[in-house]
Amino acid sequence: MELRLYDTLSREKRAFVPLDKNNVRMYVCGPTVYDFAHIGNARPVIVFDVLFRLLRHLYGEAHVTYVRNITDVDDKINARALRDHPDLPLNDAIRKVTEATASQFQADVEALGCLTPTYQPRATDFVLPRPDGRTDMKSLIQQLLDRNHAYLATGSEGKEILFDVSSMQDYGALSKRRLDQQIPGARIAVDSHKRNAEDFVLWKESGAKEPGWNGEFKPNPKSGYDAEFTIPRENASELQLNSRVVAIHGRPGWHIECSAMSAAYLDKVFDIHGGGLDLIFPHHENEIAQSRCAHGTEGMANFWMHNGFVEVEGRKMSKSEGNFVTIRELLEKWPGDVLRLQMLMTHYRSPSDWTEARAAQANAELEDWAFLLQSHYEFPEHAFPPPAEISKILADDLDTPNALTLLREQYSRAKKGTISQMLEFASSCRFLGFRNLDRPGYFEQINLAIGAGASEAASKNARRIQALRAAYANNAPSEATSSITSEIEKSGVRVEVNPKGKVILVLGQRSEIDAQAKALIDLRNVARANKNFAEADRLRGVLAEMGVTLRDFKDPDTGEPKSEIMR
């Protein structure tokens, strides 16, 4: 099977051939953990999880390395730490913010059905040289200085080490932005300490209320100036320039983080680098510049893959528009499988529109699939056939819309087919990462209550019942499910959740309700036998008010009308 992927750098879809088929390597930019991840952040997580699954299928689980970083040093994090924890020392406040948000991110992506990447490095662990010798940011910056791709300067906020974009002949190839076509000041303010408007920060001095590391750097004599950007090279001796070591208590720029962490685990050149469309420029463009110039390589990754933007209800998501939605907010209402399915309905390179209507559509479809599969989804791994058909479709640049078309065809066959067709459908669902298709109750949108006043109780608690289903589906902490349950039970009902995820509100004693329902069903069967259909309909209505839904049928032996409770 040939895997074909679209490469943003070459602007073409081409055959994927790994650098080493025994070690297929992929890096994807992860979250900056200063706040809960929004729905747009869910898209690359899901998209590249599908690719991770496909690569593991094609090359073997032991032969694929997937790295997704965590950015835990950033000016937004600093601001959030100072705002939320003003009484704590800065480093403690930052740690409190990043640990909480990183933990929440992990819980969210698990609920979305995503596999855990092979490595999830945190930026703060790769700032300074490491005992294990893995690539670090400070050493990469020194390599850029040594190769004359970076220079030291003093700006309005202190000392900086900047990347010199003019030192790289083909800078801008990924985003197709040619330096000789840029108008200074058109996009980026031209700072007097920069040689070029597009020059970007590798390291910057930290203030008193900013985190920092003690970085010592040796300027390159060829750069033309000394570290403090004050003594022209012609006024300093070669000995002075060669021996000077500049100490800057500071922090790394954003882009150097990913160059270091990708090289730390995947080497200087690897197979696939992924992320959202918004990262092409400047982040990925600058990653390429740093990595190639520091390592002296012709490339950084053989394929650059980018997913499209996510809108909300047809509009660009923003807080000012009032449509900024986090993954956590949606997971409080929907099972993660619903978010996953809706994301997969659109090809990863096209724009995706998150809407409540499409979420409800995805939920209804998953309910159908789950009612069909149920216990089959719990079979041991060896019981399922290889996902041959669906992997072949996905091998064409992750064509998830057509993969879902196949899934629906397999569902139709499985409904009226053999056990092998059922397992083929289940295998495809599992391959796409759906978690809860053994519990149809998680996706039910009909709220079930039994006992006197059942209909009113179900209606009154509809929002809480949906939240409880979502909490169970998404493995929320027991405190969360207990809190929702308590809120429901304040209305005078008891909450039951059966092994298939069905939430039932019970008004009264279960034994008394069952006895009353049986008596009414017996009376209704008599009415039907006597062709007193008006009375039979009235009794059905009474049962419905108790939350009892009936299935009518004829006794196969006697031909007499019978009824049973639909569970």
Q: Give tens-digit pLDDT for 303-327.
A: 999 999 999 999 999 877 888 999 9
Residues 518 and 498 placed together within one structural domain of the fold: no
Number of domains in the chain: 4
190 pLDDT band, cuts 50/70/90, is low
| Inside any domain, residue 112 | no
Q: 445-493 pLDDT, tens per residue? A: 888 888 888 888 999 999 999 999 999 999 999 999 999 999 999 989 9
Give the separation between CA 278 and CA 102, rounded to whole angstroms: 21
CA distances from 125 to 120, 303, 461 (A): 11, 27, 47
Q: Are residues 349 and 378 in the same domain?
A: yes
Note the pTM of the prediction, 2 decimals. 0.90
- Chosen domain end from 230, 256, 282: 256
Q: Looking at residue 187, what is its pLDDT? A: 43
198/68 Cα distance (integer angstroms): 27
Q: Are residues 468 and 497 in the same domain?
A: yes
Lowest mean pLDDT among 2-11, 195-204, 489-498, 549-558: 549-558
DSSP state for residue 238 in the 8-state scheme? H
Residue type, 117: P
Q: Is residue 6 part of a domain?
A: no
Same domain, 419 and 474: no
- Region 542-563: mean pLDDT is 78
Note whether residue 380 is domain-resident.
yes
Instruction: Tell me which of 218, 241, 256 is where a domain ends.
Output: 256
- The CA–CA distances, whole Å, from 421 to 99, 180, 439 equal 45, 60, 20
Coil, helix or strand at residue 304: strand
- Does 249 lie in the same domain as 148? yes
183 and 227 share one domain: yes
Amino acid at 301: A
Instruction: Tell me if 435 sits within 8 A of 378, measured CB to CB.
Output: no
The count of other CB atoms within 10 Å of the CB of residue 141 is: 25
Last residue in a domain, options 393, 412, 440: 440
Determine, yes or no, domain membership for 127: no
Judge whether 299 lies within some domain: no
**Within-domain flag for 371:** yes
Note whether 498 and 519 are same-domain residues: no
| Residues 516 and 502 grouped into a single domain | no
Residues 514, 540, single domain; the answer is yes
352 occurs within a structural domain:
yes
Cα–Cα distance, 30 to 265 (Å, whole number): 15
Domain that residue 191 falls in: 144-256
Same domain, 351 and 431: yes
Residue 23, helix vs strand vs coil: coil
Main-chain phi, psi angles of 44, to 5 degrees: -60, -35
Assess whether 497 and 548 both reside in one domain.
no
Residue 228 has pLDDT above 80, yes or no: no
Structural domain contains residue 405: yes
Same domain, 419 and 491: no
d(CA 286, CA 198): 10
